[in-house]
Structure 1
Amino acid sequence: MSQQDIIGWDIGGAHVKAVLLNAQGHVLDAKQVYCPLWRGLNELESAVDSILFEMQATSHVVTMTGELADIFSDRHVGVLTIAQTMQHKLSAENPKVALKFFAGNKGFVSLEQVAEVTADIASMNWLASMCYLAKQLPQAIFIDIGSTTTDIALLSNGKPNVLGYNDAIRMQCDELVYTGVVRTPLMALAQKIPFAGQLVNVAAEHFATTADVYTLTSELAPEDNMADTADGSEKSVVASARRIARMVGWDAHDAPLSAWVGLAHAFKHAQLNLVRQALLSKLSLQQKTEESAGLPLQLVGAGAGEFLISSLAQQLGIPYCSVSDFIHAESSVTKNMAKVCFPAFAVASLGLSR
């Protein structure tokens, strides 16, 4: 694969991400497409088509989390179906296409091998990121805050140092936290929230999401806010204020906009606390490892919610760097999108080095 361009794919349940690299590992293009896979496989097919319209390569490598979509009866079926769909779509564009699937510690496998290793393929995009970073850094804590989830993983002595390799274990040991900066319902962040000088109850309703929070705080880039809103309405500041007001039983016109911006910051603080608690548990293990290795510690951040990670690093007094420091691209726009699509970038880079 090292003699030609390659596309790395990260097939999620809400987005499809793709990064095109040349033979030197430089990003030529990167794209994220909204893909509500729970609505049907046609959503994945349309997303792939839109990406292939803009970027082409003869070699492709795929990682995924979309097997969790509830159109599939289980992860095994989901992985197989996504793999078969990708083979169909990519071979339709080029019958001689080279396609491999990232199977974690088993490396890359062909479509014919997928059925035997679906557990190793399912939700391993975080491990693709870690395997790439292991080639760049000896020791770090990697955090990827996306639209829906947060991945936290230790890197020690140039190798992933994690407790879990599936979602169930990773959730138990704070390596996978179901919180993100776009799709997370605000009722999942806290049962009570500070507002207007009081601690008030939060409605257990899907009135608003974290996209509303970060629209009001002006921290979420429009190109990262692709998911549907809670009420199916527009994504403006006014609409976000209307939705977030409902979370505490008010209408937006009951208080000035500044009040709803303040409430957004309160929800941001609640989300930061969730990630901080998980991170502190990882720091405890990292400190034990560091004592024996004597290597410096730093946080490495990725994803649409990277701005939260830099805030955490500052709070904890830990050196911080972005994965963009390890990405080579001709334009800052392309580099930023590759950062958001980091698992796709990472799996493409690993595919080049095979």
Structure 2
Amino acid sequence: MSDAILGWDVGGAHLKLARLVGAGRLADARIVPCQLWRGLDELDAAIAATGAPAGRSAVTMTGELVDLFADRASGVAALVERLEKKLGPDTVFYAGAAGFIGAVEALARWREVASANWRATAEALASEGDGVLVDVGSTTADIVPFAGGVVIAHGATDAGRMAAEELVYLGVARTPVMALAPRVPFAGGWIAPMAEHFATTADVFRLTGDLPDGADLHPAADGGDKTAEASARRLLRMVGADLTPETMASGRRLATWLAEAALRRVADAASAVLSRADAPGDPTIYGAGVGRFLAAAVARRLSVMYRDVGDVFASDPALSAASADCAPAVAVARLFAASRG
């Protein structure tokens, strides 16, 4: 049997895998699309797309939130059952402060298993010193403080974390543009963007040139091309305009303004977290996720030190970017490896 440890982060839109070998060395990290809201067969296909390498699996998840499931408890139960079947009976599940538990216990402690991936990353970073994890993915941003070697988040559930500004539903690929701002500047005035799924943040950051390769793994809002022109067409549709040679520049200006709105939202949340009495006094922002260019921009805006999570999680520079993209998967594998001594 392989002595590898596999870390899995099961999201509603993506599946992330990390593989540790030897003395905890990262050997692989990857992301594959997983439209879980369409059914559990999507999870099976995503696992197969990773190559399903051999090893002992440790799992964290957020996929229980998708509307395939009636509630979070049934979502956790369905995912635990399916993952144990696909990955093996010795699969363990990350339950936050409770550590790693088996499938039977995970069903009973579903509240601790549900949406705990943010804590895994922060816990794996806490030994590096006082800091704040800013993990910006395709859909959400996690802002998690840690100090004295422990996670000091105020929220534990998604609802509590949103109230505490530790979970912001804004990502760099899947967020609908209408969610970024109640009004946008266009053609000499302010326009409320159409309440339609015409464009996403992938279009915004593609036009600004910030969207990394591999960050946008799902179809565009209109199912069309992923070019600057196609993104401008979708973005201009949000304000009732068409793409022409004359309006291309207007589309780029609109994207620049919306990118600033996204940055401001994440920076405001980070500012709120850092303003707490128990916040780290001289923190470093640790950037993770496919949108960590926003985390780096937040650090510059707030005049604090910045460190890429890939520099912590990967000894091989060739795996640095992938390890930061897949930070919760790498983190849960590292934490499980440490728990085994």
1:89-121 per-residue CA deviation (whole Å, 9 max, x = no partner) reads 123xxxxx6311001111100112111110000
Alignment match, 2:87: 90
Alignment match, 1:311: 297
Identity among equivalent positions (%) equals 40
Alignment match, 2:194: 203
Q: CA deviation at 1:303?
A: 0.5
Q: CA deviation at 1:57?
A: 2.7
Alignment match, 1:342: 327
Tell me how far apart the structure 1 counterparts of residues 106 and 145 of structure 2 sit (CA, whole Å): 28
CA RMSD of aligned residues (A): 1.7
Q: CA deviation at 1:331?
A: 4.5
Out of 106, 111, 116, the position equivalent to 1:119 is 111
| 1:8-157 pair list within 5 angstroms | 8-51=7-50, 53=51, 56-91=53-88, 98-137=90-129, 139-157=130-148
- 1:243 to 2:234 alignment: yes
Contact kept in structure 2, 1:213 and 1:265, CA below 8 Å:
yes
Structure 2: state its 5+ residue gaps. none
- 1:5 to 2:4 alignment: yes
Tell me how far apart the structure 2 counterparts of residues 108 and 30 of structure 1 sit (CA, whole Å): 21
Q: CA deviation at 1:25?
A: 2.1
> What TM-score do you get using the length of structure 1 for normalisation?
0.92
Q: CA deviation at 1:87?
A: 1.2
1:282-329 per-residue CA deviation (whole Å, 9 max, x = no partner) reads 0111xx336xx8x52221111111001111111111111111120224
Tell me how far apart the structure 2 counterparts of residues 23 and 167 of structure 1 sit (CA, whole Å): 35
- 1:255 to 2:241 alignment: no
> Quick one: which amino acid aligns to residue 289 of structure 2?
G
Contact kept in structure 2, 1:28 and 1:329, CA below 8 Å:
no
Contact kept in structure 2, 1:25 and 1:328, CA below 8 Å:
no
| 1:288-299 pair list within 5 angstroms | 288-289=277-278, 296-299=282-285
Q: CA deviation at 1:162?
A: 1.2
Structure 1: state its 5+ residue gaps. 92-96
Q: CA deviation at 1:128?
A: 0.4
> Quick one: which amino acid aligns to residue 343 of structure 1?
P
Contact kept in structure 2, 1:16 and 1:35, CA below 8 Å:
yes
Alignment match, 1:94: none
> What TM-score do you get using the length of structure 2 for normalisation?
0.95
Tell me how far apart the structure 1 counterparts of residues 147 and 113 of structure 2 sit (CA, whole Å): 23
Tell me how far apart the structure 1 counterparts of residues 31 and 315 of structure 2 sit (CA, whole Å): 16
Q: 1:321 to 1:196 in 2, by over 3 A?
A: farther
1:40-65 per-residue CA deviation (whole Å, 9 max, x = no partner) reads 111011001111x2x52321100000
Tell me how far apart the structure 1 counterparts of residues 22 and 258 of structure 2 sit (CA, whole Å): 44
Contact kept in structure 2, 1:140 and 1:297, CA below 8 Å:
yes
Contact kept in structure 1, 2:311 and 2:320, CA below 8 Å:
no
Q: 1:331 to 1:299 in 2, by over 3 A?
A: closer
Tell me how far apart the structure 1 counterparts of residues 315 and 132 of structure 2 sit (CA, whole Å): 24
Q: 1:313 to 1:186 in 2, by over 3 A?
A: same
Out of 221, 232, 238, the position equivalent to 2:223 is 232
Q: CA deviation at 1:197?
A: 4.3
